[in-house]
Amino acid sequence: MITKCLFPVAGYGTRFLPATKAQPKEMLPILTKPLIQYGVEEALEAGMKSIAFVTGRNKRAIEDHFDITYELEDKISGTSKESQLDSIRELIEQCTFSYTRQTHMRGLGDAILTGETLIGDQPFGVILADDLCVGEPDGVMSQMARVHEKYRCSIVAVEEVPTEEVDKYGIVKGKLLEDGNIRIKRMVEKPAPQDAPSNLAVIGRYILTPDIFEIIRNTPPGKNGEVQLTDALQTQAASGKVIAYSFQGRRFDCGSIKGFVEATNFFFDRQSELC
């Protein structure tokens, strides 16, 4: 079983300025829970109880969120508001949390490499909190863990996107397997629409094998001068060791205002149906 999940959370969240000037974008709430909590809940559902964060400056609110707040809990103890902390208490009780800092923003690949000290020599999950996923019938990371158990290699979650939006994603192409998964042959980071090998986009869910760290170390900067995880995965793909999985469920791009609003409306409607 995969027990560790890495969360790269060092980004600036510039698309949400000025809201993210002094608070992490990952702490922006969808209803009453911050984005990062949805991601940790998904990891825990998949059996990944060791949660590793690659953080940056002005990200201390994330550490505080996954910790006990004695003054607040004492204040609301015995009141009707106490139950509102049940979900975060469950995470604090069941998970362990570790943190390291990415001192310079050099891309997702560099963020993953920075987390090596927290992961060690074992396969691990990666969740980008910007992508809020609602899996059906279970979480996307749980689905991917089963795929990894079968193939024992790196797994990336993918979905089809409009052709005019391929320049926002890593785009993949490969061989369709009997079970509907794809053995990736080619990966391109944010191609122009006319250069894209397909419209199958990688979203913010990965299961990576530990050899990815050494590959990243030997991967030169790519698009925008950043160390791209896509480039490192292409090295694995050249040996047939990356599987693309079309997950069951729905994804919201909460790194954009439109996606954030869509997610808020979705969860509000779902909560209203349960009431």
The whole-angstrom distance between residue 271's C-alpha and the CA centroid of its chain comes to: 24
**Predicted pLDDT of residue 76:** 86
Q: Does the CA dihedral 184-161-207-6 come out positive or negative?
A: positive
**Predicted pLDDT of residue 57:** 83
Listing DSSP states for the chain in one string gives: ---EEEEE-----GGGTTTTSSS-GGG-EETTEEHHHHHHHHHHHTT--EEEEEE-TT-HHHHHHTS--HHHHHHHTTSTTGGGGHHHHHHHHH-EEEEEE-SS---HHHHHHHTHHHH-SS-EEEE-TTEEEEESSS-HHHHHHHHHHHH-SEEEEEEE--GGGGGGSEEEEEEEPTTS-EEEEEEEES--GGG-S-SEEEEEEEEE-TTHHHHHHTPPP-GGGS--HHHHHHHHHTTT-EEEEE-SEEEEETTSHHHHHHHHHHHHHHHHHH-
**Predicted pLDDT of residue 74:** 80
131-151 pLDDT, tens digit per residue, is 999 998 899 999 999 999 999
Please state the pTM of the whole predicted model. 0.94
Virtual CA dihedral for 161, 126, 26, 191, nearest 10 degrees? -30
Counting residues of the chain whose pLDDT is more than 70, the rounded percentage is: 100
Q: Is residue 83 very low, low, confident or very high in pLDDT (cuts 50, 70, 90)? A: confident
Give me the helix-helix angle, 86-94 and 35-45, nearest 10°. 50
Query: Is residue 107 over pLDDT 90?
Result: no
Token pair recorded at residue 136? 């059906």
Q: Identify the CA nearest to 156 among candidates 222, 48, 246, 234.
A: 246
13-54 pLDDT, tens digit per residue, is 889 999 999 899 999 999 999 999 999 999 999 999 999 999
Token pair recorded at residue 89? 């208490």
187-212 pLDDT, tens digit per residue, is 888 899 998 999 999 999 999 999 99
Is the CB of residue 234 less than 8 Å from the CB of residue 185?
Answer: no
Query: Is residue 73 over pLDDT 90?
Result: no
**Predicted pLDDT of residue 213:** 97
CB atoms within 10 A of CB 261: 12
Average per-residue pLDDT in the chain? 92
Q: Is residue 275 very low, low, confident or very high in pLDDT (cuts 50, 70, 90)? A: low
Virtual CA dihedral for 49, 126, 35, 24, nearest 10 degrees? 110
CA distance 271 to 23: 26
